[in-house]
Structure 1
Amino acid sequence: MKSDNKKHESQVIYNKSNTNKSESKREAKKVIIQSVGYPFNFPLMDVHSLEISDEKLFEHYSKEQWMGCDVNKGSYLFDQKILPDYGFKVLEVSPDNSIIGENTSIILKTEENISKDIKAISTNLTLEDVIGQEKAKSKCKIVMKYLENPENFGEWAPKNILFYGVPGTGKTMLAKSLANELNVPLYLVKATSLIGDHVGDGARQIHDLFEMANKTSPSVIFIDEIDAIALHRKFQSIRGDVSEIVNALLTEMDGISNHEGVVTIAATNNPEQLDYAIRSRFEDEFEFVMPSFEERIIMIENFIETMPFEVEVSTKKLAQMSKGMSGRDIKEKLLKSALHRALYDDKEKIELKHFEEGLNSYKSKNDNSKNMFV
């Protein structure tokens, strides 16, 4: 009992002295910790897992005993109440080298809350559903062979691939169909979603993303609109959080951790605007081009099959009208627009004039958007 009192007293003294040293430091906004167990191995006890029944209650409990403590990324905090000397590693701090205060959010990282945020998507798409893009599909063979037998490639693995081309040409669609054909998990992330409210949020998401992909390998990570975080510095002023996200991504792409059986695919519409540090990490680049006349006919035929109204215009005529349009624009700006115009007119068939009106509206908007940059 006396020894317990002494331990408690020493903890109080530590907290007081620590608080005095830290008075000039900023309060941490967010601290992410992970349980690492005891410094020593105790038999009959799992020292590396900790089940939390109530996250808010745990946060209150932690804050009460660690109030005023210095926290740095990579440092350790020790419980002195229910599980004396049980250790927690500090994974992320925002900002770093700060103190735990009244408003600090303390989050315990567990398998459950990692998988809650990061989930593989499922799709029924196949490579045949991707019309055109034959060169890109052909180059995907190396990725498919690697994911089928990752252990055979070693250091020659195709780890990082860049998809680039005009919007709506099938970049995301090909990534989905690739993962479905191989029956492997696909983790699809928009780069814009990585920019969080606090510095460090996006970097943590990057590390968690690759950690989850490793655990479920072989797998594919698809980062869409990567230019949102990886534009060359001359095109944007780099915010602190974006810089941290880029650094975290570079660390993972460099393969400091061995991501065997994980392929990272990023997509952009403007490859020439990417920062060289990011672009140089991609071993190969797959270009996505606008569909040819014959490819547009096939696309239009496939789209029309699912339309609720009959189309009075031939697919060849529509393919001619849609010259210079991507697959997505054909569906959204030409076919869907014409369908809506037929509905406005109380028609049960989609006539040529409906397509012409939709096309004129599309061209007008495109011309206006171009004039904005003249």
Structure 2
Amino acid sequence: MRASQKSNSKKKFDKDSCFEKSGTKFAQKVVLKPAGYPLVSLIDDDPYIDDPRLFEAYIHEIRNQWEGRKVQAGTHLFDRKMFKGFACRVISVEPEGFAIGPKTKMMLAPSAPKPERVEKTPAIVSFDDIIGQDAAKKKCRLIERYLEYPDAFGKWAPRNVLFHGPSGTGKTMLAKALAGKTNVQLIPIKATQLIGEFVGEGARQIHELYERAESVAPCIIFIDEIDAIALDRKYQELRGDVVEIVNALITEMDGLSDRKGICTIGSTNRIQSLDSAVRSRFEEEIGFVLPNADEIEQILQTNLDVFPLPVDPAFNVKRFSKEAVGFSGRDLVQKVLKTALHRAIIEEKAFVEVEYFNTALAELKKIGSGDDCQQFYA
């Protein structure tokens, strides 16, 4: 009798906990938590749901795309219907490891109270930290005034500014310095992050980026490597996935929503390949140039002063700087100074020898700066 009761109890558990169809066992309940767009997220990595019932209704509408899939805690389910690429993290499955079925209950995990947004404080960079680029710094006074007094400019505001010039010449640093000087938030983004896996994803992120900026204005949106998306139309025929991103960017740059206190700074080292429609939206173009011999000397000496090893007293920085003309400060720091220092450490030298600097510079001259568009700035 007890054996029979145990058998009946087991059958009852199976009936209540899962559903069977063609040998597949379906879970009774799956608890989810929204994860946003984790692969290309710009705004929220852990979004807060204001209306749980609405979210569960959304899950109910798209759940059939996951039916038959076995899930376990920690895995992600991606929406490929309504909001393509949106992810939900599986918190728990009852029973564990079973598949999602037509009768599986999909629930939203309880969430804590909505947290206050805590912005990351960027590293403080001042104009004095940027050696050279005097013309660029002077032009940036206009942006500085606008961010300090956004209501005073009206339709004359410099809302869209293009930084252009060879790689490693301080474009990103100057944007950081501007944000620090005016005490506004810098929202940096690489243009390549805007290229999503699904059609419409990039455009959505552009609009969300500007909505985020509006909530913290005055601020700077810094789009690095903007040429990755804002290509000339003849190149866009080969890269059709960026056309909708470009159109969304143009819409925001035109200021159809009349957002005040937002300055978009695009950065490129391929200005000649930019789409003319995008380029025309920039009210100001600020050029950056390679450092001259005196500026190179300042860059080198500033970095040599913080070397963890002493430098051979025979090393003549002024003479070396004249030999290094034609390269950016970043190239010289990363590919000459760092290379020489690492070699001295590997070879267990008491100081960095002159030969190490000369060899590193000779190697850099062989390969160039690594920037494939230097001919634009010859």
Q: Distance in 1 between matches of 2:371 and 2:212?
A: 40
Give 2:331's aligned residue: 329
SS at match of 1:230: coil
Give 1:207's aligned residue: 207
Q: Which amino acid aligns with 1:64?
A: H
SS at match of 2:234: coil
Q: Which amino acid aligns with 1:212?
A: R
Give 1:354's aligned residue: 356
Distance 1:50 1:167, change over 3 A: closer
- Shift of residue 330, structure 1, vs aligned partner: 1.1
Identical positions, percent: 43
Is the Cα–Cα contact under 8 Å of residues 120 and 186 in structure 1 kept in the other structure? no
- Shift of residue 61, structure 1, vs aligned partner: 4.2
Give 1:192's aligned residue: 192
Give 2:50's aligned residue: 51
Is the Cα–Cα contact under 8 Å of residues 125 and 176 in structure 2 kept in the other structure? yes
Larger displacement relative to structure 2 (342-351 or 236-245): 236-245
Is the Cα–Cα contact under 8 Å of residues 219 and 263 in structure 1 kept in the other structure? yes
Q: Which amino acid aligns with 1:365?
A: I
Q: Distance in 1 between matches of 2:171 and 2:305?
A: 23
1:38-91, Cα deviation, whole Å (9 max, x unpaired): xxxxxxxxxxx96356xxx975543325779xxxxxxxxxxxxxxxxxxxxxxx
1:233-252, Cα deviation, whole Å (9 max, x unpaired): 22353544311111111110
TM-score normalised by the chain length of structure 2 = 0.69
Q: Distance in 2 between matches of 1:179 and 1:368?
A: 29
SS at match of 2:228: helix
Q: Distance in 2 between matches of 1:172 and 1:367?
A: 18
Q: Which amino acid aligns with 1:165?
A: G
Distance 1:113 1:285, change over 3 A: farther
Q: Distance in 2 between matches of 1:184 and 1:283?
A: 21
Give 1:220's aligned residue: 220
Give 2:89's aligned residue: none
Q: Which amino acid aligns with 1:304?
A: L
Give me the CA root mean square deviation: 3.4
Q: Distance in 2 between matches of 1:253 and 1:302?
A: 38
Q: Distance in 1 between matches of 2:353 and 2:304?
A: 13
Is the Cα–Cα contact under 8 Å of residues 115 and 212 in structure 1 kept in the other structure? no
SS at match of 1:187: strand
Q: How many residues align?
A: 288
Give 2:58's aligned residue: 62
SS at match of 1:235: helix
Give 1:6's aligned residue: none
Q: Distance in 1 between matches of 2:367 and 2:127?
A: 32
Q: Distance in 2 between matches of 1:194 and 1:306?
A: 37
Structure 2 residue runs without a partner (length 5+): 1-35, 37-47, 65-81, 86-101, 103-107
Q: Distance in 2 between matches of 1:165 and 1:368?
A: 14
- Shift of residue 301, structure 1, vs aligned partner: 1.3
Give 2:175's aligned residue: 175
Give 1:80's aligned residue: none
Q: Which amino acid aligns with 1:51?
A: D
Distance 1:120 1:206, change over 3 A: farther
Is the Cα–Cα contact under 8 Å of residues 120 and 187 in structure 1 kept in the other structure? no
SS at match of 2:255: coil
- Shift of residue 320, structure 1, vs aligned partner: 2.0
SS at match of 1:161: strand
SS at match of 1:355: helix
SS at match of 2:229: helix
Q: Distance in 1 between matches of 2:193 and 2:126?
A: 27
Please state if 1:282 is matched with 2:282.
yes
Is the Cα–Cα contact under 8 Å of residues 163 and 266 in structure 1 kept in the other structure? yes
SS at match of 2:235: coil
Q: Distance in 2 between matches of 1:138 and 1:243?
A: 34
Is the Cα–Cα contact under 8 Å of residues 163 and 287 in structure 1 kept in the other structure? yes
- Shift of residue 123, structure 1, vs aligned partner: 2.1
Q: Distance in 2 between matches of 1:246 and 1:199?
A: 13
Q: Distance in 2 between matches of 1:292 and 1:64?
A: 63
TM-score normalised by the chain length of structure 1 = 0.69
Q: Which amino acid aligns with 2:59?
A: K
Matches within 5 A, 1:1-374: 51-52=50-51, 61-64=57-60, 93-94=83-84, 122-312=122-312, 313-366=315-368
- Shift of residue 202, structure 1, vs aligned partner: 1.5
SS at match of 2:131: coil
1:286-341, Cα deviation, whole Å (9 max, x unpaired): 00001111111111111112110111213213312321110101101110011112
- Shift of residue 183, structure 1, vs aligned partner: 0.7
SS at match of 2:267: strand
Q: Distance in 1 between matches of 2:251 and 2:166?
A: 28
SS at match of 1:163: strand
Is the Cα–Cα contact under 8 Å of residues 127 and 177 in structure 1 kept in the other structure? yes
Q: Distance in 1 between matches of 2:155 and 2:149?
A: 13
Larger displacement relative to structure 2 (335-344 or 153-162): 335-344
- Shift of residue 142, structure 1, vs aligned partner: 0.7
Q: Which amino acid aligns with 2:58?
A: S
